[in-house]
A and B are shown apart, each in its own frame.
Chain A
């Protein structure tokens, strides 16, 4: 009964609604569904620069098997996960701390506006700025560390196979934390003043106040930020490509770059299509979670 009533709740009262959304639905189908379908079809063929899709042969699951058997692919998947988790975690922690700090400050909104700048900055500009900042030849970071006698030789942040991923993670965190900060800040703004006062009367300390009251209050925001963040960061292309192009020695290669290289630089279109499908399959649970979460939020 509950399910039925829920369906009825969303059932349009007027058939006109279907007509009204038809043009948009058609356009969305053409620009979204058709390319995805072509991509999925292409992943089962041997299409290439030399073999367009209409002249290609069906190869079954060959592309999938060869990719899944490739150790390079798994190395890149693990690196992609590591990159995503590292960026999300650091950006969230920094965003949370700053949001809590700014909430009760007199000039909180002012600093919020200042610290949101990295998020608003174009990615290519961010990449160029950070390549300069981290440069061992003329970067201010190395200059500072050297003058403070913390290091004797400059650190090759982006050119060492061991450090390059950290170099791009630092940049991504700098770029992404303002989004976390702004969302959490706006979540905290809705925290009821009465609860705050009641907590004060009950003698709740700062940690208890954060852990038992504030954090549960902003949990919906945290969930949405984490979900969206996962989808964005996992597929982040431009920043890494502009900074390192996946190098040195493949140490910053993640799936988005790997797919681009295979499709555009090496002409292996069907392989790139297969990789895209695999990424899509991996993303689907997160997308469903996101959509379901939004629906349940609406219901509540």
Chain B
């Protein structure tokens, strides 16, 4: 009996200690978890800071703008998540973005703008996870997922804000405007547009005595001569070939990956003559040795470095690279002149666009006002603020793009390219999966692991499946088909 009592007593004491530790641990864990989450966010986002912390940025007078706010907003923090590191001094548009936020906060002291930087490679998964966890940022820089986010009820319809502030579709470049349109409503505000041009090493082309290629056939024809004269491959392309390589070929041959039928339903078009010819041309380019061996494994950074080293003489790339060229040339990374031309063509000159938009997210806990989010976005869109910092690539508004082009003649070709530049696909549900599918089957065709006909046939089936599961299902439901 005595033994049992001691056993019982010791059990109770030890259990009490364990429970106490567990409870203390829970409390500590609560703090630790919060810290861990913050730390993780800080690690993945690398830099998270409030614009108010800025000291190094030279502040200028706040720009007055036509605000829709009728009274001073309540105290709130607006988290602004983007791929731009506002603390990176090498990014002029980043520091400018922070400076503009500082100025906005002077106008509205109750509002704190907190920037969250997420590297491009992590951006989409991070956003999906944050949204799924019910912890979205107030303003999000994003692209290509408008339909998915709208369907999940996360985005604020910004049509009336845009209209009330005097913005219309005509003020923006068409491609980027469509990116944020879904069911005739505007769910985001275009902020950056890009297109692709042929950027080349002018010294190497001069050495070879060859002009930048007008057509893909010119490029193939001159590849060997060029290599013999300079030791460099005439062109290189990153393995994300859907944007920089295969789609420009398809577009320049008058093709499209997907098309819409009379009923408005989307159809895969990978077996069309235009697409088949374009893929055949891509294979011919690869087989001819115009591209460096193993180009399908090279990512953007590798290709960029090979270009700097003079091992490839040209690549299809966007205007976001201009500021890097300027910086790297100044730093002595390379010393040749970078020329620019239209992307070589099959039948017509065509190019591929991309872009980013800013979205206002619905607050799960009423932590922020969407009016304030719009006010901040609108503040950034003011020409004076656009002029302060270069926000990468092409500004979304036509007027301001022309101002930029007037100051930098590299933009003459960029804006000319925009005349026939489209997104690789209409931004529909399953956009990224469709792009990956195109890459997968095009790669198989170019590498010869399958015949062009076979791989495009399989691509057609896969694309159709994705269209039917996605947009076509919604169209059929809406039209009662």
User: Which of A's residues lie within 8 Å of B, judged by CB?
Assistant: 14-16, 19-20, 23, 49-52, 135-137, 153-162, 164, 244, 247-251, 261, 264-267
A sample of 12 cross-chain residue pairs with beta-carbon separation below 8 angstroms, ordered by A number, consists of A15-B11, A16-B11, A23-B22, A154-B293, A158-B297, A162-B447, A247-B297, A248-B239, A248-B296, A250-B440, A264-B125, A266-B432
Q: How many residues of B contact A (CB 8 A)?
A: 39
How distant is A144 from chain B, measured CB to nearest CB, in Å? 16
> Can you name the residue of chain B whose Cβ is closest to the Cβ of A244?
B297
Known: A14-B7, A244-B297, A248-B443. 11 other contacts (CB 8 A): A15-B11, A49-B148, A49-B152, A51-B152, A136-B293, A137-B311, A156-B293, A160-B297, A248-B296, A249-B444, A267-B148
Q: Are B152 and A153 in contact (CB under 8 A)?
A: no
Q: Are A248 and B447 in contact (CB under 8 A)?
A: yes
Contact A249 to B443, CB < 8 A, known contacts A49-B148, A135-B302, A266-B433: yes
How distant is A182 from chain B, measured CB to nearest CB, in Å? 31
How distant is B304 from chain A, measured CB to nearest CB, in Å? 12
The interface residues of chain A lying within 8 Å CB-to-CB of B449 are 161-162, 249, 251
Q: Any chain A CB within 8 A of the CB of B292? A: yes
Proximity string of chain B (1-33) to chain A, C-beta cutoff 8 Å, 1 when within and 0 when not: 000000100110011001100100000000000
> Can you name the residue of chain A whose Cβ is closest to the Cβ of B289?
A153
Distance, CA A160 to CA B132, complexed state (A): 36
Distance, CA A139 to CA B129, complexed state (A): 36
Distance, CA A136 to CA B297, complexed state (A): 9
The interface residues of chain B lying within 8 Å CB-to-CB of A51 are 152
> Can you name the residue of chain A whose Cβ is closest to the Cβ of B444?
A249
Contact A156 to B296, CB < 8 A, known contacts A261-B436, A266-B430: yes
Contact A20 to B432, CB < 8 A, known contacts A136-B294, A161-B447, A264-B128: no
> Can you name the residue of chain A whose Cβ is closest to the Cβ of B312?
A137
The interface residues of chain A lying within 8 Å CB-to-CB of B120 are none
Distance, CA A52 to CA B128, complexed state (A): 12
Q: Say which residue of B151, B296, B306, B311 sits within 8 Å of A50 (CB atoms).
A: B151
> Can you name the residue of chain A whose Cβ is closest to the Cβ of B440?
A250
Q: Any chain A CB within 8 A of the CB of B202? A: no
The interface residues of chain A lying within 8 Å CB-to-CB of B440 are 247, 249-250
How distant is B452 from chain A, measured CB to nearest CB, in Å? 13
Contact A136 to B447, CB < 8 A, known contacts A23-B18, A164-B297: no
The interface residues of chain B lying within 8 Å CB-to-CB of A265 are 124-125, 432-433, 436
Q: Are B18 and A20 in contact (CB under 8 A)?
A: yes
Distance, CA A265 to CA B124, complexed state (A): 7
How distant is A34 from chain B, measured CB to nearest CB, in Å? 16
> Can you name the residue of chain B whose Cβ is closest to the Cβ of A260?
B125
Q: Are A154 and B297 in contact (CB under 8 A)?
A: no
Q: Any chain A CB within 8 A of the CB of B298? A: yes
